[in-house]
């Protein structure tokens, strides 16, 4: 039968470690007691960012999508911290509110930007198609078909005979040769007339000749008509006639 090992006097007289249960106490503090539990600061920040996301959604700037994304990250991190606090932190409702607000506005702003991008791609394709049709008709010297690619307001200002005459003067160019088509820089500036809700676009249009690359680009204005883009004006090629100055008794007197 084995004998118990002797215990030294120093070991027997040593008091129990007063900090041995400190870790256990700190991780279970607050459970089943009426002690105060601190509100997680990230939960509050998540709600603030969620509300700020609503304000950001009113401003049409894609960069502001970062605000609801930050709200999502902050709210999720707050929920994780609260769950791991073993009751020492509260604010779960705040974090959930921030998560819902930020998520909703992320979908709203993100969806709006995706829609705007898709619409812009469609407008680019429509303008490219217009330029291609102009190129095909001008190269074939089919000026009547090219004229139909210009807006109604342009046709009221520039008649078909003037249109044909102007283009025939450029065929062939004494230096650059025959006009073979048009090109553009794939950049559009689109605006909407708030009074009429008509959409306009500005772009730089280049004339391509057979003996040279291009001439300096000209600004062209397009107008949206019946779900299609039409050329509204190329002022340097078809300048607007200025009305005579008014006399003392009014215009033409």
Share of the chain above pLDDT 90, in %: 28
Peptide bond into 172 cis (omega under 30): yes
Degrees to nearest 5, angle at CA 204 with 203 and 210: 135
Q: pLDDT averaged over the chain? A: 79
The arithmetic mean of pLDDT across residues 46-51, rounded, is 92
Does the residue 24 lie in any domain?
no
Q: Which domain holds residue 151?
A: 140-233
What pLDDT sits at residue 250? 43
Report the domain count for the chain: 2
Does the residue 215 lie in any domain?
yes
Please determine, for residue 74, whether its predicted confidence score (pLDDT) is greater than 80: yes
Instruction: Tell me: do 154 and 225 sit in the same domain.
Output: yes
What pLDDT sits at residue 243? 42
Strands (DSSP E) found in the chain: 38-39, 89-90, 179-184, 189-192, 199-209, 218-225, 228-233, 246-247, 250-251
Please determine, for residue 82, whether its predicted confidence score (pLDDT) is greater than 50: yes
pLDDT band for position 120 (50/70/90)? confident
Residues 6 or more apart whose CB falls under 8 angstroms from that of 70 comprise: 49, 102
What pLDDT sits at residue 22? 44
Instruction: Give pLDDT tens digits for 57-67.
Output: 888 777 888 99
Does the residue 129 lie in any domain?
no
Does the residue 80 lie in any domain?
yes
Higher per-residue confidence, 21 vs 232: 232
Degrees to nearest 5, angle at CA 75 with 73 and 79: 115
The arithmetic mean of pLDDT across residues 235-244, rounded, is 67
pLDDT band for position 69 (50/70/90)? very high
Instruction: Tell me: do 164 and 211 sit in the same domain.
Output: yes
Q: Helices 41-56 and 66-84, interaxial angle, to 10°?
A: 160
* Residue 7 region by backbone torsions, left for phi larger than 0, else alpha for psi between -120 and 50, else beta: beta
Does the residue 9 lie in any domain?
no
Q: What share of the chain is helix, strand, coil (3-state, %, to 5)?
A: 45, 20, 35
Instruction: Give pLDDT tens digits for 87-114.
Output: 889 999 999 999 999 999 989 888 888 8
- pTM, 2 dp: 0.59
Name 150's bridge partners. Answer: 231
Does the residue 8 lie in any domain?
no
Count other Cβ atoms within 10 Å, centred on residue 98: 30
The arithmetic mean of pLDDT across residues 161-168, rounded, is 88
Degrees to nearest 5, angle at CA 51 with 48 and 55: 130
What pLDDT sits at residue 15? 55
225 three-class SS: strand
Instruction: Tell me: do 157 and 87 sit in the same domain.
Output: no
Instruction: Give pLDDT tens digits for 198-234.
Output: 889 898 888 888 776 556 788 889 999 888 899 999 8
- How far is Cα 218 from Cα 202, in angstroms, rounded to an integer? 10
Instruction: Tell me: do 76 and 149 sit in the same domain.
Output: no
Instruction: Tell me: do 112 and 155 sit in the same domain.
Output: no
């Amino acid at each position: 039968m084995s004998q118990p090992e002797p215990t030294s006097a120093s070991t027997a007289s040593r008091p129990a470690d007063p900090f041995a249960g400190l870790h256990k106490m700190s991780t279970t503090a607050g459970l089943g007691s009426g002690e105060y539990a601190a509100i997680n600061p990230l939960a509050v920040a998540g709600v603030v960012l969620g509300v700020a996301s609503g304000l950001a959604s009113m401003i049409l700037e894609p960069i502001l999508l970062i605000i609801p994304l930050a709200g999502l990250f902050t709210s999720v991190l707050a929920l994780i911290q609260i769950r791991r606090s073993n009751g020492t932190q509260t604010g779960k409702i705040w974090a959930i509110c921030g998560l819902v607000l930020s998520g909703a506005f992320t979908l709203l702003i993100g969806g709006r930007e995706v829609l705007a991008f898709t619409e812009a791609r469609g407008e680019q394709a429509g303008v490219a198609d217009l330029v291609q049709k102009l190129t095909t008709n001008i190269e074939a010297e089919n000026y009547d078909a090219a004229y139909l690619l210009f807006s109604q307001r342009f046709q009221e200002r520039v008649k078909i005979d003037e249109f044909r005459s102007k283009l025939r003067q450029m065929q062939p160019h004494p230096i650059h040769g025959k006009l073979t088509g048009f090109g553009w820089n794939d950049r559009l500036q689109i605006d909407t007339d708030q009074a009429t809700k008509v959409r306009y676009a500005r772009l730089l249009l280049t004339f391509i000749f057979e003996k040279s690359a291009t001439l300096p680009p000209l600004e062209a204005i397009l107008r949206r008509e019946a779900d299609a883009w039409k050329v509204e004006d190329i002022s340097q090629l078809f300048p607007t006639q200025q009305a005579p100055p008014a006399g003392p008794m009014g215009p033409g007197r």
